[in-house]
Amino acid sequence: MSIANISSNASNTSSRHWRIPKFAVRPKFAIASIAIAAVGLLSWQRLGGNNKPTLDSSQVVWQQVDRSDLDVIVLGRGSLESQSNIDILCEVEDVRKDNINGTTILWMTPNGTSVKTGDLVMELDSTPMKEALDDQFLFVENALAEKIQAEANLNNQQTMNTTAEAEAQLQIRLAELELEMYVDAENGTQKLAVDANKRKIDDVTNEILAAQATMELRREEQRGYQSLFKLGYANRNEVRRFDLTYLQAEGQFVAKLNQLQTELATLKKMQVYEQRKERLVLEGKLATAKRGLEQVLRNNEARLAQVTALMRAKEESLKKEEEKLERYQVQLEKCKIKAPQDGMVAYPNIRTSEIREGVPVIFRQKLLSIPALESMQVETKIHESALDQVKPGLPVRITVESFPGTTYEGCVKSVAVLPEQNSWSGSDTKVYQTIITIDEKVSGLKPGMTAVAEIMVEHLADVVNVPLHAVVEKHDQTYVVVRDQADQLHPRPVELGQASDTRVCVEKGLSEGESIAINAHDLVDKVFTSESEPTS
């Protein structure tokens, strides 16, 4: 039931028209108002409902009003928890090949055991991880061998590329030299061939002249022997021999003339056609060599890129295998779970948890937590009516039910921005989660213990304050009970300020030294009658 419902039920139960003080200026006093209402209701019922009791002096408890310091407190009830609570998850991957999901728990520390940093708290079955680690060693060795082979292939390809490029550049240089040698105007191949042909023509010309002289000489010899034959001084055979000699000389002369024509034609062909043809051939050879170099460079680049990519793939494969090996090695160590800090072993709820020896656990499953017991905090919930008062940094006085004689000092660490549904009340009343830290080192406290936090909202120095049960409310006005000189009881209206859990500040209506009835709720039927009116 919510605070508002409690207040409403208390008001509806009374057939008298008295109400608890509303403290409208400070909605944070709803809890104190409930206490006033409860006290007043019980007193009214004890006095017999509508029957007006007779008042005597023994029924009134007087107290003199004084000034004192007043601490404005917001109470919060919650449970202890550690400021440093480390959850330990299963970090071992499932590498089993026996159709069992997870890794089996071999041994575990009993719940609630105090441990130191580095203490062994749980051990998981490491056999599957050891087997996977052995297999992974082989995978790493294979990947290393492939990577070494890829490095050798890369080095060979770089050497082959250098050789092919050098050979292609050599072919270009040879083609350039051959073309340069052919077109040289002084010592070029073309110039030398033409000069050789011209010298040959000169030789043939000289041979023609010699053949011509020989032919004329043989002609004169022929004519002389013909004359001698006519005179009878030479026979027919001698004449025929000289005729043959003349014909031979004439044929030699004609042959040389033909050779000269051939050499002249050859010279013209060499100067006009062969020169152009050979130049085109040499220029084409040079262009082909240059294109061959370009092709070699492209092929070299492609082959180098291919073996480089293969090399990188092998390196990445080796890297992944090594990382997997390292991960297996780390996970093998993770099979032995050690405490990351001093504290207490706390397992999940035993009723719903499957954390026990012989049961497999899966990767990332929560196994246990290690709360540090020296640094504790209180998780409580603040009612929405007090939300405007509670701020981070406010000092807090904390008591633990298990240690009633011990008080701890703390402060408000945080207040939730969004509310939680107040499930215990069944209403729409909102509460806000509030974390309060204990500033000192503690011992003997454990998570889950019930704690009461007194949040010191404000300290009011030297103010008029009265007990909460000395104040009643009627017709939306708060009153205290005073007496006049004739010892008659009268309700006096007062204006209230802030309140603690037991006392409230009176801002107007009372002065220091006056006396009030602190059991005002017992006097409701006597003071508030239809015949009497409140006096100020």
CA distance 343 to 114: 6
**Residue after which a domain boundary falls, among 370, 395, 419:** 370
What is the phi-psi region of residue 192: left when phi exceeds 0, alpha when psi lies from -120 to 50, beta otherwise?
Answer: alpha
169 with 49, same domain: the answer is no
**Residue after which a domain boundary falls, among 332, 360, 394:** 332
pLDDT higher than 50, residue 17: no
**Residue after which a domain boundary falls, among 317, 332, 347:** 332
Whether 413 maps to a domain, the answer reads yes
- Give the CATH number, domain containing residue 118: 2.40.50.100
Q: Where are the beta strands (DSSP E) in 173-320?
A: none
List of residues 6+ apart from 391 with CB closer than 8 A = 412, 415
117 with 13, same domain: the answer is no
pLDDT of residue 410: 95
398 with 290, same domain: the answer is no
pLDDT higher than 60, residue 424: no
45 with 194, same domain: the answer is no
The total number of structural domains that make up the chain = 3
CA distance 218 to 227: 14
Over residues 354-372, the mean pLDDT reads 90
pLDDT digits (tens, 9 = 90+) for 281-305: 989 999 999 999 999 999 999 999 9
Range of the domain at 106: 93-126+335-370
pLDDT of residue 12: 35
pLDDT of residue 253: 87
341 with 328, same domain: the answer is no
327 with 432, same domain: the answer is no
Please, are residues 311 and 153 in contact by the beta-carbon 8 Å criterion? Answer: yes
How would residue 345 be classed by pLDDT, with cut points 50, 70 and 90?
very high
For residue 281 the two structure tokens come to 């051939």
Q: Considering the chain, what percentage of its residues have pLDDT values greater than 90?
A: 43
76 with 102, same domain: the answer is no
Check residues 534 and 157 and name the one with the higher pLDDT: 157
Least confidently predicted of 141-145, 321-325, 424-428: 424-428
pLDDT digits (tens, 9 = 90+) for 61-92: 888 898 998 888 888 999 999 999 999 999 99
Whether 49 maps to a domain, the answer reads yes
What is the phi-psi region of residue 465: left when phi exceeds 0, alpha when psi lies from -120 to 50, beta otherwise?
Answer: beta
pLDDT higher than 50, residue 499: yes
φ, ψ of residue 507 in degrees (nearest 5): -85, -35
pLDDT higher than 70, residue 364: yes
CA distance 339 to 370: 7
Complete DSSP assignment for 325-371? HHHHHHHHHHTEEE-SSSEE-BPSPTTT---STT-EE-TT-EEEEEE
pLDDT of residue 117: 94
340 with 276, same domain: the answer is no
498 with 509, same domain: the answer is yes
Whether 247 maps to a domain, the answer reads yes
Please, are residues 377 and 434 in contact by the beta-carbon 8 Å criterion? Answer: no
* Type of residue found at 311: M
What kind and span of H or E run contains 95?
none
Whether 321 maps to a domain, the answer reads yes
Whether 401 maps to a domain, the answer reads yes
What kind and span of H or E run contains 161?
helix 127-183
Taking each continuous run of H as one helix and of E as one strand, the counts in the chain are: 7, 22
pLDDT of residue 421: 65
257 with 175, same domain: the answer is yes
Mean pLDDT of the chain: 83
Question: Could you give the angle at the alpha carbon of 41 between the alpha carbons of 39 and 43, nearest 5°?
Answer: 70
For residue 63 the two structure tokens come to 């107290």
Whether 535 maps to a domain, the answer reads no
17 with 56, same domain: the answer is yes
Please, are residues 520 and 470 in contact by the beta-carbon 8 Å criterion? Answer: yes
pLDDT of residue 326: 94
103 with 177, same domain: the answer is no
- Give the CATH number, domain containing residue 499: 2.40.30.170
Whether 87 maps to a domain, the answer reads no
Burial of 479 (0-12, 13-18, 19+ CB in 10 A): buried
CA distance 238 to 222: 9
Q: b/e for 222-250, b at 16 or more Cβ within 10 A? A: beebeeebeeeebeeeebeebeebbeebb
For residue 446 the two structure tokens come to 């454990």
CA distance 406 to 401: 9
Whether 209 maps to a domain, the answer reads yes
